[in-house]
């Protein structure tokens, strides 16, 4: 995959950022109160890296237990 076209998108994003946020900060504030139904999702978002690192070995373990023929030979 060539990097040059994607670097162009990065440059476009940087240009839009300096156009819309000339002083580097938002001109409006975001609401800090979240609705009750969104709280579990915000917890998941705050700990997403931990969840990612946790679920990878769990998926491999489940595959090893329930479909051992599907596991690679390097185990």
User: pLDDT by residue (tens digit) across 52-74?
Assistant: 999 999 998 888 888 888 777 65
SS3 1: coil
∠44-47-50 over CA atoms, to 5°? 120
- What's the mean pLDDT in 40-62? 89
Mean pLDDT, residues 9-35: 86
How sure is the predictor about 1, in pLDDT bands with cuts at 50, 70 and 90? low
Q: What is the pLDDT of residue 4?
A: 77
Which phi and psi (to 5°) does residue 10 adopt? Answer: -65, -45
Beta-carbon contacts of 64 under 8 Å, excluding residues fewer than 6 positions away, are: 71, 75
Note the pLDDT of residue 49. Answer: 93
Tokens found for residue 12: 């476009």
Percent above pLDDT 70 for the chain: 95
The structure tokens listed for 3 are: 């990097």
């Amino acid at each position: 995959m060539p990097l040059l076209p994607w670097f162009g998108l990065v440059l476009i994003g940087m240009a839009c950022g300096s156009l819309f946020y000339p002083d580097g900060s938002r001109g409006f504030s975001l609401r800090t109160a979240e609705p009750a139904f969104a709280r579990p999702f915000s917890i998941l978002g705050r700990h997403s890296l931990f969840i990612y690192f946790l679920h990878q070995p769990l998926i491999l373990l489940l595959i090893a237990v329930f479909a051992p023929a599907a596991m690679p030979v390097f185990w």
